[in-house]
Amino acid sequence: MDQATLAAYDAAAEAFAADWHAQPAPADLHAIVRRFFKPGLTADIGCGSGREVAWLAANGFGAIGYEPSQRLREAARARYPGLEFHDAGLPELAGIADGAFDNVLCETVIMHLRRHLIVPSVVRLLSIVKPGGMLYLSWRVTEGADQRDDHGRLYAAFSANLIHGVLGAQTILLDEEVISASSGKKIHRIVARNAANGAV
| Domains in the chain, number | 1
Examine the pLDDT at 14 and tell me if it is beyond 60: yes
CATH number, domain containing residue 29: 3.40.50.150
Q: Please tell me the distance from the alpha carbon of residue 4 to that of residue 125, in angstroms, as a whole number.
A: 22
Could you list the residue range(s) of the whole structural domain that residue 66 is in? 3-198
Confidence of residue 198 (pLDDT cuts 50, 70, 90): very low
Buried b (16+ CB within 10 A) or exposed e, 33-43: beebbeeebbb
- Predicted confidence at residue 169, as pLDDT, reads 83
- Closest-CA residue to 6 (of 172, 152, 148, 190): 152
Average pLDDT estimate for 101-111: 98
pTM flag (> 0.85): yes
Query: Sorting pLDDT into bands at 50, 70 and 90, what band is 199?
Result: very low
pLDDT digits (tens, 9 = 90+) for 40-82: 999 999 999 999 999 999 999 999 999 999 999 999 999 999 9
Q: Which residues pair with 41 in a beta bridge?
A: 62
Check: CB of residue 162 under 8 Å from CB of residue 116: no
